[in-house]
């Protein structure tokens, strides 16, 4: 039988006596631990999975493309210092005619060498690879096959450069290159309408007229390679063959999306947990400080019996450690469950074939250490105060607080406040530091809820700007190659097309001193109303007759303002460079962009206007006829139905809103209840005799409760504007942490956000207060009055 030390028995009794308050503190601490583990755990799991997948399937380090390069060029690239492996391939965009689907789909064809690829090696999921000698056999991405119900042996048609191909599916694949498969110009994956198709190399070369040549290149580098030098050499070699510029993994579409998501997860694990740890430390300090004040005589008796100061201090530190251990244990369990579950969700979303769960003990140890440190910081002041008490002083009751009339009393008298209100105000002024910390704790509950609402509203603004103000077209047609303005007339003759507007996307590199950015200038006709540029207020800004308009994020990156000159370096099939003035800056939340009028760009290129994309406004009643016609339209590379993209994006946002709303409301309520309940319980323990005396003197339960809970209510009201300010700061920090070239999140702060956050937190305060009032109503007045001050 284990014999407990006297202080240990007291420790267990104290923990049980304070079980409600301890649980409130533990749950707040558990939230911090769980969020820390979830964010960091998911980041480590996804990074480990990504690295393992890339390594096993030999994901390339550098990617390049050209219009048409002879195969002999591969040897020149392989001779570059630092290059380990080079693989050339053929790629092209096709329109797909899928069985049972009225709308045209799009796909990207990749060539499969006869011996199989050595870089970006696809993983066979079902069936087999196509026969190298076949002209009709293909393999497709597993998600595309699943979305369209394809199995090995099924058939579909593709239109490539006006030639119709009847293809047979032999197998389904996954590839490290397409973990996040976004159609050209798209924002989200479209598994049903866009797929990757692997075709035997000989058949792909014949389809796209590239026999003996290639238009796509992948490189794997040695560890000692100098990436910028390799990219520069590759560009120089491919430039005569229409090279569009080599780039590393950072600009590879799939990898860049995953990297942006990992950066967001890191931001979440940095911004949120400190809030919970700070609140837990404050609650521990508040509760232990009151316990020490109530147990002065017991502390004096223990010291008189021979207990040392260190033993007394450790006793109270151990009480805080036990509460922290409960919270850490809950946080570990919830964090492990959330981390594992969310990692699996992310793995499915990004199409990982497997998931590596590192289960690094150092993450759990770090979370536990931070939790214990927070509790210790909260407890150390109270423990040190208990240790410093001399036995004789501790055995005597504390000196009653001194009162004096001040300006607040004069103001209250002038306002003719009732006596109960005066008692509430004096209770706040008696302990201003504690009152301020309580208000700060309550304000953090408001702040978290306001910040989460602001982020959700930011997503709504992004969607409104991207889909209903900037890109108003129903459909965008990407052409297989540049054509003249005659394509606009042809598009207007398609069934159901009411408006057709041309767009020319020119690959360039913009330079301003040492800063540069590779992108495509979008040239549009003046007066166009489907694809528009916007100002910061969301209003349409016409493109300037001369000069270039940059998105705000691009202008900031390059350090440019209106009136500056930017150097435009051409790439791809064109060479040369020219300077153009920055005529304006446009607000853009998704991606970065540079925009010019079509005639102005054509003048710099010394050629007539060209077209690579057609934006359409459609009579939706004739949509089926248009979709059927598009399946047979030559020179068409991809078809993006913006209406479908909008619906998909809205569905994803709605699901995200529901999940995050429930999560952040739960977190906010836990914080608010934890702070309000502990504060009200401490007031009840401090003022029990006073309140019982008032009841004996004839005060009603409502009046006595108003004295007890009025302080909490008043502090809760004071906490609202402070919570709004902190919430605005958290929103700004999250927005700043989530920015990337893929998207920019606007900072949206509305009165409705703050109002809803305040209403929810005030309701949580009221619920906590009612729990404490219930204890007050059930208190034995005689027993309370018999207790010693």
pLDDT digits (tens, 9 = 90+) for 78-125: 999 999 999 999 999 888 888 888 888 889 999 999 888 999 999 999
Residue 786 clears pLDDT 60, i.e. is over it: no
Q: 445 with 668: CB under 8 angstroms?
A: yes
What is the average per-residue pLDDT within 67-84?
A: 92
Lowest mean pLDDT among 50-64, 289-303, 340-354, 757-771: 289-303
What is the average per-residue pLDDT within 295-310?
A: 75
Question: Dihedral of the CA atoms 698, 703, 709, 715 (nearest 10)?
Answer: -130
Instruction: Check residue 259 and give its pLDDT.
Output: 84
Instruction: Check residue 782 and give its pLDDT.
Output: 52
User: How many residues make up the chain in this entry?
Assistant: 789
Q: 554 with 593: CB under 8 angstroms?
A: yes
C-alpha neighbours within 13 Å on the C-beta side of residue 715 = 35
Tokens read off for 528: 């166009």
Residue 741 clears pLDDT 50, i.e. is over it: yes
Nearest Cα residue to 368 out of 508, 261, 227, 273: 273
> Pairing state of beta strands 194-200 and 105-112?
parallel
Q: Where are the beta strands (DSSP E) in 122-186?
A: 123-127, 137-141, 155-160, 163-174
Residue 188 clears pLDDT 90, i.e. is over it: no
Instruction: Check residue 35 and give its pLDDT.
Output: 82
Q: How many percent of the chain have pLDDT more than 70? A: 85
What is the average per-residue pLDDT within 125-151?
A: 92
Q: pLDDT per residue over 8-66, tens digit each?
A: 777 777 778 777 777 877 887 888 888 888 878 888 888 888 899 999 999 999 999 99
Instruction: Check residue 789 and give its pLDDT.
Output: 47
Residues with Cβ within 8 Å of residue 286, at least 6 apart in sequence: 434, 437, 438, 678, 679, 682
- 161: alpha, beta or left, given left = phi > 0 and alpha = psi -120 to 50? left
Which residues face 156 on adjacent strands? 167
What is the average per-residue pLDDT within 297-312?
A: 76
Per-residue pLDDT band for 417 (boundaries 50, 70, 90) equals: low
Per-residue pLDDT band for 668 (boundaries 50, 70, 90) equals: confident
Question: Cα(234)–Cα(220) distance, rounded to whole angstroms?
Answer: 13
Residue 403 clears pLDDT 60, i.e. is over it: no
Mean of per-residue pLDDT scores for the chain: 82
Tokens read off for 292: 């020490």
Q: pLDDT per residue over 432-468, tens digit each?
A: 777 777 788 788 888 888 887 887 777 778 777 777 7
- 209: alpha, beta or left, given left = phi > 0 and alpha = psi -120 to 50? left
Instruction: Check residue 406 and give its pLDDT.
Output: 58
Q: Quick one: DSSP state of residue 471?
A: B
Question: Cα(50)–Cα(767) distance, rounded to whole angstroms?
Answer: 46
Residue 687 clears pLDDT 50, i.e. is over it: yes
Instruction: Check residue 2 and give its pLDDT.
Output: 41
What is the average per-residue pLDDT within 206-222?
A: 92
Instruction: Check residue 32 and give its pLDDT.
Output: 83
- In angstroms, the Cα distances linking 291 to 284, 306, 343, 406, 428 are 10, 21, 42, 30, 19
Instruction: Check residue 453 and give its pLDDT.
Output: 80
Dihedrals φ, ψ of 327, to 5°?
Answer: -65, -40
Domains and CATH numbers, the chain: 1-60+254-389 (no CATH), 61-253 (no CATH), 406-471+643-789 (no CATH), 497-618 (2.40.40)
Q: How many percent of the chain have pLDDT more than 90? A: 22
Question: Cα(588)–Cα(596) distance, rounded to whole angstroms?
Answer: 15
Instruction: Check residue 410 and give its pLDDT.
Output: 63
- Kindly calculate the radius of gyration of the chain based on its CA atoms and give it in whole angstroms: 34
Q: Quick one: DSSP state of residue 531?
A: B
Residue 269 clears pLDDT 60, i.e. is over it: yes
SS3 98: coil
Dihedrals φ, ψ of 273, to 5°?
Answer: -55, -40
Instruction: Check residue 1 and give its pLDDT.
Output: 38
Question: Cα(447)–Cα(37) distance, rounded to whole angstroms?
Answer: 22
DSSP assignment of 622-637, as one string? GHHHHHHHHTT-TTEE
Beta-carbon neighbour count of residue 445 at 10 Å?
33
Residue 3 clears pLDDT 50, i.e. is over it: no
Instruction: Check residue 632 and give its pLDDT.
Output: 80
Q: pLDDT per residue over 560-605, tens digit each?
A: 999 999 999 887 777 788 999 999 898 888 778 899 999 999 999 9
Lowest mean pLDDT among 56-65, 71-80, 131-140, 313-322: 313-322
What is the average per-residue pLDDT within 230-236?
A: 91
């Amino acid at each position: 039988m284990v014999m407990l030390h006297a202080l240990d028995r007291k420790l267990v009794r104290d923990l049980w006596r304070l079980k409600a308050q301890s649980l409130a503190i533990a749950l707040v601490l558990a939230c911090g631990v769980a969020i820390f583990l979830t964010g960091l755990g998911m980041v480590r799991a996804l990074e480990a999975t990504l690295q393992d997948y890339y390594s096993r399937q030999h994901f390339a380090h550098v990617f390049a493309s050209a219009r048409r390069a002879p195969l002999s060029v591969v040897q020149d690239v392989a001779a570059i210092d630092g290059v380990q492996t080079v693989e050339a391939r053929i790629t092209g965009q096709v329109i797909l005619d899928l069985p049972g689907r009225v709308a045209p789909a799009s796909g990207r064809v990749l060539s499969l060498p006869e011996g199989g690829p050595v870089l970006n090696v696809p993983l066979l999921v079902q069936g087999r690879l196509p026969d190298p000698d076949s002209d009709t056999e293909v393999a497709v991405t597993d998600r595309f096959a699943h979305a369209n119900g394809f199995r090995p042996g099924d058939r579909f048609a593709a239109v490539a450069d006006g030639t119709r191909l009847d293809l047979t599916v032999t197998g389904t694949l996954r590839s490290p290159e397409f973990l996040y498969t976004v159609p050209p110009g798209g924002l989200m994956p479209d598994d049903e309408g866009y797929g990757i198709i692997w075709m035997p190399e000989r058949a792909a070369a014949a389809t796209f007229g590239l026999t003996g040549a290639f238009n796509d290149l992948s490189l794997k580098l040695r560890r000692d390679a100098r990436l910028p030098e390799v990219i520069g050499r590759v560009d120089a070699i491919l430039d005569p063959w229409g090279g569009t510029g080599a780039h590393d993994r950072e600009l590879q579409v799939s990898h860049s999306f995953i990297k942006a998501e990992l950066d967001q997860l890191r931001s979440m694990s940095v911004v949120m947990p400190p809030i919970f740890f700070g609140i837990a430390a404050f609650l521990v300090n508040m509760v232990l400080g009151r316990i020490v004040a109530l147990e002065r005589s017991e502390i004096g008796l223990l010291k008189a019996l021979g207990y040392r100061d260190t033993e007394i201090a450790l006793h109270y530190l151990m009480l805080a450690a036990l509460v922290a251990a409960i919270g850490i244990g809950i946080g570990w369990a919830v964090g492990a469950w959330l981390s594992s579950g969310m990692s699996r969700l992310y793995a499915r979303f990004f199409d990982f074939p497997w998931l590596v769960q590192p289960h690094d003990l150092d993450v759990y140890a770090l979370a536990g250490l931070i939790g214990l440190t927070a509790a210790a910081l909260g407890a150390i002041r109270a423990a040190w105060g208990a240790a410093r008490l001399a036995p004789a002083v501790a055995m005597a009751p504390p000196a009653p607080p001194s009162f004096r009339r001040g300006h607040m009393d004069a103001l209250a008298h002038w306002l003719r406040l009732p006596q109960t209100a005066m008692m509430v105000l004096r209770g706040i002024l008696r302990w201003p530091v504690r009152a301020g910390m309580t208000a700060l704790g309550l304000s953090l509950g408001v702040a978290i809820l306001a910040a989460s609402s602001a982020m959700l509203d930011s997503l709504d603004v992004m969607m409104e700007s991207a889909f209903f103000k900037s890109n108003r077209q129903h459909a965008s047609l990407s052409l297989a190659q540049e054509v003249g303005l005659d394509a606009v007339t042809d598009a207007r003759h398609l069934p159901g097309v009411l408006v057709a507007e041309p767009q020319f996307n020119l690959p360039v590199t913009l330079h301003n001193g040492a800063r540069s950015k590779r992108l495509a200038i979008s040239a549009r006709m003046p007066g166009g109303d489907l694809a528009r540029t916007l100002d910061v207020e969301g209003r349409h800004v016409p493109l300037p007759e001369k000069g270039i308009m940059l998105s705000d994020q691009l202008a900031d990156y390059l350090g440019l303002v209106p009136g500056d000159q930017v150097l435009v370096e051409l790439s791809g099939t064109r060479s040369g460079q020219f300077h153009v003035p920055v005529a304006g800056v446009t607000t853009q939340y998704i991606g970065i962009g540079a925009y010019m009028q079509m005639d102005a760009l054509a003048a710099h290129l010394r050629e007539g206007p060209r077209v690579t994309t057609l934006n359409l406004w459609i009579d939706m009643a004739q949509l089926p006829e248009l979709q059927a016609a598009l399946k047979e339209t030559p020179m068409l590379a991809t078809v993006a139905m913006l209406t479908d993209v909008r619906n998909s994006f809205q569905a994803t946002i709605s699901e995200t809103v529901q999940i995050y709303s429930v999560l952040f409301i739960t977190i906010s309520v836990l914080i608010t209840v934890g702070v309000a309940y502990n504060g009200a319980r401490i007031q009840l323990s401090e003022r029990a005799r006073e309140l019982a005396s008032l009841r004996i003197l004839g005060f009603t339960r409502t009046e006595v409760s108003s004295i007890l809970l009025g302080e909490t209510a008043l502090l809760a009201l004071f906490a609202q504007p402070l919570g709004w300010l902190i919430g605005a700061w958290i929103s700004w920090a999250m927005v700043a942490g989530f920015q990337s070239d893929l998207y920019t999140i606007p900072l949206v702060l509305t009165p409705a956000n703050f109002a809803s956050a305040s209403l929810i937190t005030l309701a949580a305060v009221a619920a906590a207060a009612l729990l404490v009032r219930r204890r007050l109503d059930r208190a034995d007045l005689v027993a309370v009055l018999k207790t010693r001050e």
